[in-house]
A = this chain, B = another copy of it.
Amino acid sequence: MPILEILDYAGVAVFAATGALSASRKQLDIIGYIFLASITGIGGGTLRDVILGATPVFWVVNPIYLVVCGCAGLLVFFSAHLMESRYRYLLWLDAIGLASYSVMGAAKGLAATGSPIVALVTGMLTATFGGILRDMLAGEPSVLLRPEIYVTAALAGAGVFTAATYFAAPLLVASTLGVVTAFAVRGGALKYGWTLPTGDPRPGRHPNDVM
């Protein structure tokens, strides 16, 4: 199985699992698990395909992705009670998904357009969109707004993959470098609380106090 296909299934499966973990945190029923698993698992890739005009989107062409999401949802449904902290699992699985999709998104964007900057953006968008969607639908505080590095990791993975491809690295090498970079950056942020400096240290006031 080619490397990009493995990354794609891996990204879908782990993102789906994070969606199901959110469903568990919100005490949804089994269909709620499968629903959130599916939306989180296929959300990022769906956005990528729609933006690039690659429709019908990937899971309509190949519904096996939906089976993967359903199985991930069921697996979490029957095992979540065994986990000490579902949110910690969610974050680490999300990191794997982010790493896979930063490369997948960049690879599809690069293949479709040849433009490195488009590849960076499709990598960044598709790696983060699944998690954004999950947090929105489940009403969780967005992982995007936490201080630890998140989007930066996706950008790093997409950037390393794109640069390596530009310098004619084989697909397997470029993909591995991208995934490892993104996961190392995000994993470090989770484990050691890595942050980048913020621009303006004043928190925003409530709109009603400003107008």
Interface residue from B28, B121, B147 paired with A66 (Cβ < 8 Å): B121
Interface residue from B56, B196, B201 paired with A30 (Cβ < 8 Å): B196
Q: Enumerate chain B residues within 8 angstroms of A200, measured Cβ to Cβ.
A: 24, 27, 80-81, 86
Classify chain A's interface size: 35 or more
Q: Enumerate chain B residues within 8 angstroms of A137, measured Cβ to Cβ.
A: 132, 142, 144
What separation, in Å, do the CA atoms of A35 and B141 have in the docked complex? Answer: 18
In A140-162, the 8 Å CB interface with B consists of: 140-142, 144-147, 149, 151-152, 155
Pair A28/B207 contact, Cβ less than 8 Å: no
Pair B52/A56 contact, Cβ less than 8 Å: yes
Q: Is the interface of A mostly helix, strand, loop or mixed?
A: helix
Known: A204-B26, A205-B87. Contact between A38 and B121, CB under 8 A? yes
Cβ of A37 to closest chain B Cβ, rounded Å: 12
Pair A198/B27 contact, Cβ less than 8 Å: yes
Having A22-B204, A51-B60, A137-B144, one finds 15 other A-B pairs with CB under 8 Å, namely A28-B198, A29-B196, A31-B149, A31-B196, A46-B51, A52-B60, A67-B117, A78-B199, A81-B199, A81-B202, A86-B200, A87-B205, A88-B210, A139-B145, A141-B206
